[in-house]
Amino acid sequence: MNRSFRLRRLPLYAAAAVTVTLCLFPVYWMMSTAFKPTRDIQTDTPQLLPTTWTFDHFRTAVQADGFALFWRNSILVTVSAVLLALLVALGAAFAVARLRWRGRRQFILMIFIAQMAPWESLIIPMYIISRDTGMLDRLPILTLIYFMITLPFTVVVLRGFLATIPPELEESARVDGCTHLGAFRRVVFPLLAPGLMATSMFGFITAWNEFAYANFLIIKDQDSRTLPVWLSSFQNTFGTDWGATMAASTLFALPALAIFLLLQRHVTSGFASGAVKG
């Protein structure tokens, strides 16, 4: 590469650097604030690089009232919703990808439409339905809603993964004496494992982040709250302690960040290239 070529590319790399900075700065600022001592946070001249490190804020966040409980609630609701969605979606995806039946197209269309459901506009009827059925302030209603939010997506993606596994494999297993179920369990399931993994992680993130329903359906019983709602009310919990607030945000964001980085290959190539190649 000669020099003039490099010089010509300079604006491009400058733009790339700006993009990376803008994307990362809020994440970086959250984490660095969480590690700074309070006197470095409440100052007129913020330090871009923390000079002194401390774990105090994390201690405050973890020891805050109910933190362990809300963490447990979040995990409980999220994991059960994802498992339920996985189980139900596996059956539906198998029926769609491998069997032919009347109403199949209509079912696929229903799933596509359900995937775009305007959940922000269903808060009011959900509130009234849960109130009428005595589900208000209880975690199972959140589990059910999160199950429904993640279900369509899970069906669609699992169907895609199933379609890449040749049916011949199953057929030969059946020729060798396996039952339908046995062929599925011994042959298809192991091949499907990465798909199940990726889908459940995306489902996990969706349910983990959900705020609106957790906020409006859990009102009186504070012990049934989940982490997003807790985080949104940090000002009541921590007052103006931004160090602790940022530590709590970091703890909340960490699982999602970790999962996305693990799945980065899927996110940037697998999922997205499927988007255009069809």
Whether the Cβ atoms of residue 130 and residue 141 lie closer than 8 Å to each other: yes
Work out how close the CB of 79 gets to another protein at its nearest, in angstroms, rounded to a whole number.
Answer: 17
- Closest CB to another protein among 58 and 202? 202
Give burial (CB, 10 Å; 0-12/13-18/19+) of 236: exposed
In the shown chain, the binding pattern of residues 19 to 38 toward another protein, with x for contact by CB under 8 A and - for none, equals xx-xxx-xx-xx--x-----
R_g (Cα) of the chain, nearest Å: 24
Size of the site for another protein (CB under 8 A): 110
Are 119 and 149 in contact by the 8 Å Cβ rule? The answer is: yes
Least distance to another protein, CB of residue 185, Å: 15
CB of 253 to another protein, least distance (A): 4
Among 101, 134, 175, 220, binds another protein (CB under 8 A): 101
Contacts of another protein in 103-122 (CB under 8 A): 104, 107, 110-118, 120-122
Q: Which residue number, 167 or 194, has a Cβ lying nearer to another protein?
A: 167
Name which of residues 156 to 215 contact another protein (CB under 8 A). 156-157, 159-160, 163-164, 166-167, 171, 202, 205, 208-209, 211-212, 215
H or E stretch covering 138: none
- Find the shortest distance in angstroms from Cβ 139 to another protein: 16
Q: Could you give the CA distance from residue 154 to residue 58 in angstroms, rounded to a whole number?
A: 35
Long-range pairs for 33-38: beta carbons < 8 A, 24 or more residues apart: 33/242, 33/243, 33/246, 34/58, 34/243, 34/246, 34/247, 34/249, 34/250, 36/243, 37/243, 38/241, 38/243
Check binding of 5 to another protein (CB under 8 A): no
In the bound state with another protein, the residue whose beta carbon lies nearer, of 54 and 115, is 115
Judged by CB, which is closer to another protein: 7, or 124? 124
The dihedral sign for the CA sequence 77, 79, 80, 83: positive
CB of 268 to another protein, least distance (A): 5
Site string for another protein, 38-57 (x = CB under 8 A): ---xxxxxx-----------
Of 61-100, binders to another protein (CB under 8 A) are 87-89, 91-92, 94-100
- Produce one character per residue of 4-27: b if its CB has 16 or more CB atoms within 10 Å, e if not: eeeeeeeeeeeeeeeeeeeeeeee
- Dihedral sign for Cα 170, 173, 175, 181, please: negative
- The Cα-based distances of 170 to 6, 161, 179 in angstroms read 55, 15, 10
Give whichever of 16 and 68 is closer to another protein, judged by the CB atom. 16
Q: Quick one: which of 60, 77, 245, 247 contacts another protein (CB under 8 A)? A: 245
CB of 194 to another protein, least distance (A): 13
Q: Which two tokens stand for residue 14?
A: 């400058």
CB of 189 to another protein, least distance (A): 15
